[in-house]
Structure 1
Amino acid sequence: MKWTSALAIYFLLWIFSAFFVLPFHGRRADDDAVPLVRGQEPGAPAHFRPLRVLAQMTMLSAAIFLAFYIAYKQGWVDPDVIAGRA
């Protein structure tokens, strides 16, 4: 696997990990005693911590990529079978 392919796969996993990480963050604003600002969505998080979200996305995508890379090196993921050539 070329390093550019590995980087592209990792980047895609990093982006997709946002869909797994974001739903678990923050209590809703109407759950807290935080007063709502005019125009604020009541279901929006009261306190959003983007650095924490980015760190969790990075850890999750690194773990998934490591599992994929090990499977690729062990031969469990065959590029010919995935491409339909075998």
Structure 2
Amino acid sequence: MSVTFSIAVYFMIWWIVLFAVLPFGRSRSQEETGNVVPGSEASAPDRPRFLRVFVLTTILASLIFGGFYWLRTSGMSLDDIPFLRPPSAR
């Protein structure tokens, strides 16, 4: 597996995980806290905590990519999974 391919796959996994992680946690809106900044939407988060989201995303994406890399380099294929073989090949 080339370095370019690995970087591209990690980048795609990271973005998918980011959108899965964004709704985690209790985020109060500016309207709920009573601190609406002029020029922003009242439903915008009061404290978005982006650093926490990016760190959690990076950790989860690294674990998922590690599993992908292991499967890719282990030589395992779909033929190794018994219930996916056609009946004639069993």
Instruction: Assess same fold via TM > 0.5.
Output: yes
- DSSP-derived class of the 2:23 partner: helix
Q: For 1:47 and 1:39, how far apart are their aligned partners in 2?
A: 16
> CA-atom RMSD, angstroms?
2.0
Structure 1, residues 10-67: CA drift from partner, whole Å, max 9, x if none? 1111121111111114223333x33223443333211012221111111111011011
The equivalent of 2:76 in structure 1 is 76
Q: Which consecutive residues of structure 1, in runs of 5 or more, have no partner in the other structure?
A: 79-86
Over alpha carbons, which structure has the higher Rg? 2
Q: May I ask how many residue pairs the two structures share in their alignment?
A: 77
TM-score w.r.t. length of structure 2: 0.68
Taking the aligned partners of 2:13 and 2:5, their CA distance within structure 1 comes to: 12
Tell me whether 51-60 or 38-47 shows the greater mean CA deviation. 38-47
Preserved contact between residue 27 and residue 46 of structure 1 (Cα < 8 Å): yes
Gaps of at least 5 residues in structure 2 are: 79-90
- C-alpha spacing 1:42/1:77, structure 2 compared with 1 (3 Å): farther
Confirm whether residue 27 of structure 1 aligns to residue 28 of structure 2. yes
CA distance in 1, matches of 2:24, 2:10: 22
Q: Alpha carbons of 1:30 and 1:69: their partners in 2 closer, same or farther (altered >3 Å)?
A: same
* Cα distance, 1:29–1:50 mapped onto 2, change above 3 Å: same
